[in-house]
Structure 1
Amino acid sequence: MKYTVLGAGAMGLRYGVLLQEAGFDVDFVEIWEPQIEKIREQNGVFVSRDHVGKHLVPINIYTPEEYAGEPDVWIVFTKQMQLADALKRTAHCFKDYQYVVSPMNGMGHIDKLNQYFDQSKVIGATAMIGTVLNGPGDVDFIGAKGAGSMHMANETEKPDETTHEIVEDFQKANLNPVLTTNLMGTLMAKVIFNSVVNTLCTMFQIQMGEFIQSPAAEKLSKQLINEAFDVCERAGITLLNTREEEWETVQYVSSVSNPLHFPSMYQDMSKGRNTEVDYINGYIYELGLKYHYEATTHDFLRNLVHLAEFSRDFDVEALEKSVLAVEMAK
């Protein structure tokens, strides 16, 4: 099948490049101009693995407006807050026969995809795969070849022949897919994972392997996991893991699979971009409110991240000059 990746950031590039290397026809559509310009300038994207083996991989990349391809499957990897605009700009390419797979972080994307794709063609997914965009046209795959995994679930929870073909293609690309028939349980398991690792690593600017070594890691993780499970139980969502298994996943991925990884939320924070915390910890808190439960730790962390975003934007030198000017005027 032919694939088109909408959102050629770190994860979009990883999926697309791996599928391309497995022999599939892949296009990339991107909304960030510096990424498009750099990839075109150097005739491809530079790919490393764990900071070594940097090499150029030729790819086809387009803006939404200029793209005219007709893929069988879209793979959507934009940020949650960019999705509505990206879909609107690309809508002229969407066809009734096309499927869409979206392993995005956070929650909120399924409803937006439903505005353009029939539910029978929507596949929700999660990716436990670490990837870093060093800069425009330069991506680093974290973990050994074949490392990482993903879960997929049809929105209808009824896999069809095309779904199984997509799963087979992803397996050939070493993405290690697992197909489930539990959409919300599948998606929320990753949201809960991210609500622990992404948020805490971002707040303290540490890699996952550093986080898990802390004596406080287990207590903090279990507090967040327990709150999230309380919310899901009230919402009638059956998760893929138990509470203890979710903690074990945090341990394993942080210490074995991706110890050198800075989560995507940290990458956004460090590069001056807004984070997806409202779609992760914020989503858990807001879902809990619908069922008369307050996941207060998640709300506290969400607001801490927003405070960090706010304080990051202060120009200390300008502030000092302003204070000095006020003092001199007295």
Structure 2
Amino acid sequence: MKYAVVGAGAMGLRYGLLLQENAGVEVDFVEPTKASLDAIHAQGDVVYRSVDHQDRTAIPVKAYSPEEYTGQPDVWIFFMKQMQLADTLTRLAPKFQPGQTALGAMNGMGHLEKFQQYFDDDHIIGGTAMIATILNDFGDVDFIGGTGSVYANMTEKPSEVMDQVQADFTKAELNPSYSENLLGTLLTKVAFNSVENSVHTMFQARVGETMAYPNYIEGVAKPMLDEAYAATKAAGIELLETEDEMLDKIVRLSTGAFAQHFPSMYQDFVKGRETEVDYINGYFTALADKHGVPAPTQKLVTNLVHLAEAMREFNPPKNKLAPAEQ
């Protein structure tokens, strides 16, 4: 199968490079951000890949703007920020062909409804990626730790495309698994991110550093997850993990594989960009409101992240992603 990865940021580059290098399949990168595309071209149409901050290697890629792209991929893999997706889909709309599939393993919620404007439900795949990756700069990515991912068809039924995607992703060492619970799959990751991404962004902390507070799990993580699980239960959505399993995972990753990692929301925050908090914590606030259950902690955290964004004007954050700080 041929893939077009839309968005040459941290996760887009990781997926695309793993598919290209490990699975040996054809991959095109479609980059809507002009500064990023210009940087890749200026480097000689290569991107730089490191693994755990080491072995920085130049890898040739084919990268295009949405307007100049003329490829015919079987699967479009979208790794955009939620707030950028609608515009990117509009720019790409003339390129979409019947029978092509849209796959999104993006952070937060909101993308499925946007995909449905251009693709039928038989050709939409949702997924989640428990993968730590840092974009040092445009066209310069650092793979942190291992990979794990879960995918579900919009129809929640098996398909030949899903079988082929699973096979290619396995060869790419993305360690995929298959689910027939689409919303449960996606919201399990969103619940995790509602704790990890927002808290670490506000306090500009690595994932493992918050564990220095002895009451982090009971006093911070659990109240947020209580509300996320109550909202999904009220909506009739069953997550793939129990709340206790989620809390155990937070402890395990915070003291293990992800301890030195900064989540993607932090990476946006320190670079002066808008965060996706409205599509993560804000999603649970809206879901809870819709079904008549309280979510004051999720609502407060959403507002606190926006407050932290506003305070950058007066207290510019220190970018700990800089090479000297790694």
TM-score of the pair, normalised by structure 1: 0.93
SS of equivalent residue, structure 1 residue 256: coil
Matching residue of 1:176: 175
Q: Does 1:70 align with 2:69?
A: no
Gaps in structure 2 of 5+ consecutive residues: 317-326
Matching residue of 1:322: none
Q: How far is 1:136 from its partner?
A: 1.2
- Residues 39-90 of structure 1: per-residue CA shift (max 9 Å, x gap): 1111200111111111101101110000010000010000000000001001
Matching residue of 2:193: 194
- Residues 264-299 of structure 1: per-residue CA shift (max 9 Å, x gap): 000000000000000000000001001111211000
Matching residue of 1:36: 37
Asked whether the 8 Å contact 2:36–2:138 carries over to 1, the reply is yes
Q: Which runs of structure 2 are paired with 1:7-18 in the superposition (5 Å)?
A: 7-18=7-18
Matching residue of 2:136: 134
Asked whether the 8 Å contact 1:153–1:186 carries over to 2, the reply is yes
Asked whether the 8 Å contact 1:73–1:98 carries over to 2, the reply is yes
SS of equivalent residue, structure 1 residue 87: helix
Matching residue of 1:49: 51
Matching residue of 1:240: 240
Task: For 2:172 and 2:210, locate their aligned partners in 1 and report how far apart those are by CA, in whole Å.
Answer: 30
Asked whether the 8 Å contact 1:142–1:260 carries over to 2, the reply is no
- Residues 171-211 of structure 1: per-residue CA shift (max 9 Å, x gap): 11010111000000000000000000001110111111212
Asked whether the 8 Å contact 2:187–2:239 carries over to 1, the reply is yes
Task: For 1:241 and 1:159, locate their aligned partners in 2 and report how far apart those are by CA, in whole Å.
Answer: 22
| Corresponding letter in the other structure for 2:233 | E
SS of equivalent residue, structure 2 residue 106: coil
Task: For 2:315 and 2:277, locate their aligned partners in 1 and report how far apart those are by CA, in whole Å.
Answer: 24
SS of equivalent residue, structure 1 residue 36: helix
Q: Which runs of structure 2 are paired with 1:186-265 in the superposition (5 Å)?
A: 186-219=185-218, 220-265=220-265
Q: Does 1:292 align with 2:300?
A: no
| Corresponding letter in the other structure for 1:117 | F
| Corresponding letter in the other structure for 2:167 | E
SS of equivalent residue, structure 1 residue 132: strand
| Corresponding letter in the other structure for 1:112 | K
Matching residue of 2:166: 167
SS of equivalent residue, structure 2 residue 255: helix
Task: For 1:212 and 1:76, locate their aligned partners in 2 and report how far apart those are by CA, in whole Å.
Answer: 33
Asked whether the 8 Å contact 2:133–2:144 carries over to 1, the reply is yes
- CA separation of 1:315/1:256 partners in 2, compared to 1, >3 Å: closer, same or farther? closer
Matching residue of 1:301: 301
| Corresponding letter in the other structure for 1:181 | E
Task: For 1:126 and 1:253, locate their aligned partners in 2 and report how far apart those are by CA, in whole Å.
Answer: 16
Task: For 2:115 and 2:264, locate their aligned partners in 1 and report how far apart those are by CA, in whole Å.
Answer: 22
Q: How far is 1:27 from its partner?
A: 0.3
Matching residue of 2:91: 89
Matching residue of 1:153: 152
SS of equivalent residue, structure 1 residue 257: coil
Task: For 1:257 and 1:177, locate their aligned partners in 2 and report how far apart those are by CA, in whole Å.
Answer: 18
SS of equivalent residue, structure 1 residue 205: coil
Larger radius of gyration: 1
TM-score of the pair, normalised by structure 2: 0.94
Task: For 1:7 and 1:217, locate their aligned partners in 2 and report how far apart those are by CA, in whole Å.
Answer: 34
Q: How far is 1:105 from its partner?
A: 0.1
- CA separation of 1:292/1:18 partners in 2, compared to 1, >3 Å: closer, same or farther? same
| Corresponding letter in the other structure for 1:7 | G
- Residues 6-62 of structure 1: per-residue CA shift (max 9 Å, x gap): 111100000000000020100000111111111111120011111111110110111
SS of equivalent residue, structure 1 residue 5: strand
Q: How far is 1:315 from its partner?
A: 8.0
| Corresponding letter in the other structure for 2:278 | D
| Corresponding letter in the other structure for 1:194 | N
Kindly tell me the number of residue pairs found equivalent between the two proteins.
Answer: 313
Task: Report sequence identity in percent.
Answer: 51
Q: How far is 1:221 from its partner?
A: 0.9
Asked whether the 8 Å contact 2:8–2:139 carries over to 1, the reply is no
Q: How far is 1:161 from its partner?
A: 1.4
Task: For 2:142 and 2:246, locate their aligned partners in 1 and report how far apart those are by CA, in whole Å.
Answer: 27
Root-mean-square deviation over aligned CA pairs: 1.1
Task: For 1:211 and 1:20, locate their aligned partners in 2 and report how far apart those are by CA, in whole Å.
Answer: 36
Task: For 1:270 and 1:115, locate their aligned partners in 2 and report how far apart those are by CA, in whole Å.
Answer: 33
Asked whether the 8 Å contact 1:14–1:131 carries over to 2, the reply is yes
Task: For 2:8 and 2:240, locate their aligned partners in 1 and report how far apart those are by CA, in whole Å.
Answer: 29
| Corresponding letter in the other structure for 1:280 | I
Task: For 1:141 and 1:216, locate their aligned partners in 2 and report how far apart those are by CA, in whole Å.
Answer: 31
Task: For 1:217 and 1:155, locate their aligned partners in 2 and report how far apart those are by CA, in whole Å.
Answer: 36
